[in-house]
Amino acid sequence: MNELGLLVGSPSPRRVGRVLTYRKAAVVSLLFPPTGIASMYYSLKSAGLARKGEVEPAREAGGKARDWAWYSVGIGLTVYVIAFMAYVLFNNDGAVRIVFFAWSILSDRRSWVSLLKGFWINVQVFMITEVIVLVWALVVAIVRLLPGKACRPIRFLATLYVDVFRAIPALLVVSLIGLGFLQAKVPLAGDLSDMQYVILALTLTYGAYVSEVYRAGIESVHWGQLAAARSLGLSYSQSLRHVVVPQAVRRVVAPLLNDFIGLQKDTAIISFIGVLDVVARARFINNSKGTLAGYSMAAMLFLLVTIPFTRWLEWLQRRTQNRTQGGR
């Protein structure tokens, strides 16, 4: 031990002057030759320079070898994945392409019109359900977080609801409510339209999921925020409304959006109880033409709605972040 003592230790005997030639990375990257060859060239150059003792140029070449190896990963993998998909699509005399993307059906205007009519039902269902779920799930989340002994029974009830409806497949809930409520003349809900039953069923299912998202968001807001709000004289509900919930909602936009995309897709379930939605109509097209192109077309319609929706919400989230977080 030297005189610097235990905490400092002895000066390191290691060298920092090694030259990295990235030989292994270059060899692996040869699996994608266009960039792999460049990587190998620089790696060899680096090794050669290092042997001559020209450390700085050797390092520079080594760095280039590393950069090109990473290009091999990024570009090479992409090219190979796309090539594999093309291979699948056009193999067997294009059977895959014909089953999924038969041009004669894809270009048929009447099929698209029929599908769009059905898709409009799906759109209505998920738009209405999303609005109701947004409110209903927040109510459930807040009930689950009510403080105090007195609220224990109602907390328990809310927990039970969430546990039950998260556990049952949406398909079963839609079937049970959509077919059963009418048959059993359930009070208050014995005489609704198919679409209303579907909205009710999906609200109950997704309300359970989304309430958990809200709950996580509310719990993630530091307790000091509630303390500060209460200490200013705001009541518990005022504190939730003005301080805690707004922060919680901003934090859970991404998972909320995730659940809503799930909901948009799950509206496909309603074809099971005889609603002529996009999936039911796609099935007709498939059956009459003997392909699966109808489903592909329906899938495209879902894509068309979901992807812009995602981008829009991401933009919205970025905007609020820029506003509240320091842009120093």
Closer to other proteins by CB, 2 or 237: give it. 237
Neighbours of 106 (CB within 10 A): 16
Cβ 285 vs Cβ 294: under 8 Å: yes
Of 127, 172, 186, 228, the residue at the interface with other proteins (CB under 8 A) is 228
- Give the interface segment with other proteins, choosing from 22-30, 114-122, 232-240, 259-267 (CB under 8 A): 232-240
Query: Judged by CB, which is closer to other proteins: 110, or 328?
Result: 328
The rounded distance, in Å, linking the Cα atoms of 328 and 318 is 16
For residue 260, give the nearest of 197, 318, 302 by alpha carbon.
Answer: 302
Rule CB under 8 A: say whether 324 interacts with other proteins: yes
Distances (CA, A) of 173 to 33, 60, 183, 273: 54, 63, 15, 11
Closest among 269, 306, 289, 266 to 111, alpha carbons compared: 289
Task: Identify which of residues 51 and 222 has a Cβ nearer to other proteins in the complex.
Answer: 222
Decide if residue 229 touches other proteins (CB under 8 A). Answer: yes
Q: Which is nearer to other proteins, 74 or 246 (CB)?
A: 246
Q: Any contact of residue 224 with other proteins (CB under 8 A)?
A: yes
Q: Does 133 bind other proteins (CB under 8 A)?
A: no
Q: Choose the binding region for other proteins from 39-47, 59-67, 255-263, 320-328 (rule: CB under 8 A).
A: 320-328
Considering the rule CB under 8 A, would residue 237 count as an interface residue with other proteins? no
Would you say 123 or 226 has its CB closer to other proteins? 226
Establish if 227 lies at the interface with other proteins (CB under 8 A).
yes
Q: What binding mask, one character per residue, do residues 266-305 give for other proteins by CB under 8 A, x or -?
A: ----------------------------------------
157 binds other proteins (CB under 8 A): no
Distance in angstroms (rounded) separating the CA atoms of residues 253 and 286: 37
Work out how close the CB of 269 gets to other proteins at its nearest, in angstroms, rounded to a whole number: 37
Nearest distance from C-beta of residue 151 to other proteins, angstroms? 16
> 311 by DSSP, 3-state: which?
helix
- At 54, list the tokens: 């020209």
One-letter amino acid for residue 301 of the chain: L
Residue 97 within binding range of other proteins, rule CB under 8 A: no
Q: How far is CA 61 from CA 30, 31, 58, 64, 194, in A?
A: 17, 21, 5, 5, 69
Q: Is 316 in the site for other proteins (CB under 8 A)?
A: no
The number of C-alpha atoms within 13 Å of 75 and in the hemisphere containing its C-beta is 14
Q: Which is nearer to other proteins, 225 or 258 (CB)?
A: 225
Cβ nearer to other proteins, comparing 221 with 297: 221
Phi, psi (5° rounding) for residue 258? -55, -50
Cα separation, 256 vs 265, in Å, equals 14
N-to-C CA span, the chain: 47
What are the E-state strand segments in the chain? none
Among the residue ranges 77-85, 206-214, 235-243, 257-265, the one whose residues contact other proteins (CB under 8 A): 235-243
Residues interacting with other proteins, by CB under 8 A?
Answer: 222, 224-225, 227-235, 238, 242-243, 246-247, 250, 323-328
